[in-house]
């Protein structure tokens, strides 16, 4: 089984590069499941039905969320009736599901604690949930604190098939497979790669200089980047994984690890 994961899709530039390259990647690497984080897909904040269908038609199978899932609340509630679009488990009685399961895979959407909406403790919830599961468990852990991501990895290694971090939009170089669990602190954004975490530089710049909140916008023109991770599984755990970056239409393999060879 082969899984391709795309991190935070930020606005139109992220959607555009996915539509251009995802079909090629799926075919070339014979991908079985494409999982992607949607929470910034609609101009950086949430998702709409139109954008959901756009990304679904581009080849994404299962969608994971984050702290911006409910930014467009009416759209989110409508979409979360779909069983392949998830909201984080942390929300108490919010609409929708936080995991997707079929005969081969369980995909989980979860958030960290620090600087995230108040909710259920993800460490306790996930520790209890993964016990005695006999499928490949993929967790998108959407967290601000890198330490929280490492804690979850050590808590669940040898139990989950993959724990991949999202949210910071900055890719890390610590890809590893330990006891069959693939781990990466943050996969990085897919969208504008030459501004500030996918957003036009002017808003963050004014905010930092004045201390006042400014509107963050996704630029219309920018140098786009697509970052994704491909995981090869034996059905229960990860055996091989490699990260790809697409910059200026060049596909670059930046990290690769294997386990059990």
Taking the CA atoms of 67, 26, 138 and 188 in sequence, report the sign of the dihedral they define: negative
Taking the CA atoms of 37, 141, 228 and 237 in sequence, report the sign of the dihedral they define: negative
- pLDDT of residue 74 exceeding 90, the answer is yes
Q: In this predicted model, what pLDDT tens digit does every residue of 202-240 receive, in sequence order?
A: 889 898 999 888 888 898 889 999 999 999 999 999 999
- Whole domain around residue 239: which residue ranges? 2-258
Domain count, the chain: 1
**Token pair of 168, please?**
């910071």
Predicted confidence at residue 61, as pLDDT, reads 98
Q: In this predicted model, what pLDDT tens digit does every residue of 95-151 receive, in sequence order?
A: 999 999 999 999 999 999 999 998 999 999 999 999 989 999 999 999 999 999 999
Q: Which of 188, 136, 189, 183 is nearest to 163 (CA)?
A: 183
Q: CB neighbours (10 Å) of residue 49?
A: 14
Question: Which residues, at least 6 apart from 72, have a Cβ–Cβ distance to it below 8 Å?
Answer: 42, 45, 46, 47, 48
Three-state SS at 100? strand
The CATH number for 241's domain is: 3.60.21.10
Among the options 68, 142, 167, 169, which is catalytic?
68
CA dist 229 and 128 (Å) reads 27
142 in catalytic set: no
Q: What is the mean pLDDT of the chain?
A: 95
Residues 78-92, mean pLDDT to the nearest whole number? 94
pLDDT class for 175, splitting at 50, 70, 90? very high
Q: Strands 250-258 and 238-247: what pairing?
A: antiparallel
pTM over 0.85: yes
**Segment among 107-116, 183-192, 247-256 with least mean pLDDT:** 247-256
Q: In this predicted model, what pLDDT tens digit does every residue of 17-41 receive, in sequence order?
A: 999 999 999 999 999 999 999 999 9
Tell me which H or E stretch contains 53. Answer: helix 49-58
- pLDDT of residue 181 exceeding 80, the answer is yes
């Amino acid at each position: 089984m082969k899984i391709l994961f795309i991190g935070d899709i930020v606005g139109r530039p992220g959607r555009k590069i996915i539509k251009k390259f995802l079909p090629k990647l799926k075919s070339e690497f014979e991908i079985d499941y494409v999982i992607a984080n949607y929470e910034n897909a609609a101009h950086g904040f949430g998702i709409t039905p139109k954008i959901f269908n756009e990304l679904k038609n581009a080849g994404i199978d299962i969608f994971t969320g984050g702290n911006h899932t409910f930014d467009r609340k009416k759209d989110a509630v409508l979409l979360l009736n779909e069983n392949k679009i998830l909201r984080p488990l942390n929300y108490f009685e919010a609409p929708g599901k936080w995991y997707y399961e079929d005969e081969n895979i369980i995909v989980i959407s979860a958030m960290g604690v620090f600087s995230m909406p108040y909710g259920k403790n993800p460490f306790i919830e996930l520790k209890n949930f993964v016990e005695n599961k006999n499928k490949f468990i993929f967790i998108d852990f959407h967290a601000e604190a890198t330490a929280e991501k490492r804690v979850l990895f050590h808590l669940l290694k040898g139990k989950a098939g993959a724990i991949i971090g999202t949210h910071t939009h900055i890719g890390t170089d610590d890809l590893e497979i330990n006891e069959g669990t693939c781990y990466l602190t943050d996969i990085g954004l897919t969208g504008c790669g030459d501004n500030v975490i996918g957003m036009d530089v002017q808003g963050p710049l004014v905010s930092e200089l004045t201390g006042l909140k400014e509107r963050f916008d996704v630029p219309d023109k920018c140098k786009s980047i697509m970052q994704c991770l491909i995981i090869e599984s034996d059905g229960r755990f990860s055996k091989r994984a490699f990260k790809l970056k697409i910059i200026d239409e060049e596909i670059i393999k930046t990290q690769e690890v294997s386990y059990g060879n």
